Structure 1
Amino acid sequence: MAQPHDVPTAAQLVAAVREFLRDDVLPAVEGRVRFHTRVAINVLGMVEREIELGPDQAAEHAARLAELGVADDAELAAAVRAGRFDGDDALTEALVQAVRAKLEVADPGYLQRP
């Protein structure tokens, strides 16, 4: 598929900024600026992972919702509140997979912890 933009890609740009902050800025700052630099590094890592994983995760999530017979998260929430899925293992599995996808973006290291 042809891309409308040349290199560097958005993901490459985000990675470059994250690496700059990690390798050049972080060692040179202290205190509050150091803390905020670490936060920025983590946020950019999340953005990188969402760019990489997001499209596939969105398709997988839509497929899970369709299997449950709902159109979107709001309809799923309403169905859960209405008791439509009481005791349904398919709902539990869908929610586990949804949370796993969120963690793969937000903090993939969490999935490796015992």
Structure 2
Amino acid sequence: MPQSTPKAAILLEAAVKYLETELMPTLDGYHRFQTRVTVNVLNTVRRELELRTAQAEAERSRLVAILGHDGEVETLSVELAEKIRAGAIAIDDPALRSHVRQSLADALTINNPKWMTR
């Protein structure tokens, strides 16, 4: 698919800027709250567009290192969960703990990066 101009992340940023700086000051109560929710959703989508590809590749690399073979992220994740349940991979395995920690950090970076600064 051809790259749109401007990029989706830039369009989302412009929409957020309008909502925050132009529209929200004119609103109160319910509509102000709903606009804030919409801003949060648009920012989450923007971060996902910007970060998810690199995060998914890094996740796949971690899973390959833990499991010892290549595959798709979803398939490898299911296999990892099955191996943990079966006791084939210990829950205190350093590579597993590092993988889970980084996966959670990646998810928080997209969903709410403020949580990462606490």
Specify the alignment match of 2:50 in structure 1. 52
Establish whether residue 64 from structure 1 lines up as the match of residue 68 from structure 2: no
Structure 1, residues 45-92: CA drift from partner, whole Å, max 9, x if none?
Answer: 111111111110010000011011164221111111111221311101
Q: Where has structure 1 moved over 4 Å in runs of 4 or more?
A: none
| 1:1-114 alignment, distance < 5 Å | 4-69=2-67, 71=71, 72-86=76-90, 87-113=92-118
Offset of residue 33 of structure 1: 1.1
Which stretch shows the higher mean deviation, 78-87 or 102-111? Answer: 78-87
Rounded to whole Å, the distance in 1 between the matches of 2:106 and 2:4 is: 29
Rounded to whole Å, the distance in 1 between the matches of 2:38 and 2:4 is: 25
Count of matched residue positions in the alignment of Structure 1 and Structure 2: 111
Structure 1: state its 5+ residue gaps.
Answer: none
RMSD of aligned alpha carbons = 1.5
Please, what TM-score do these two structures have when normalized by structure 1?
Answer: 0.90
Percent of residue pairs bearing the same amino acid type: 35
Offset of residue 19 of structure 1: 0.9
Rounded to whole Å, the distance in 2 between the matches of 1:57 and 1:74 is: 18
Structure 2: state its 5+ residue gaps.
Answer: none
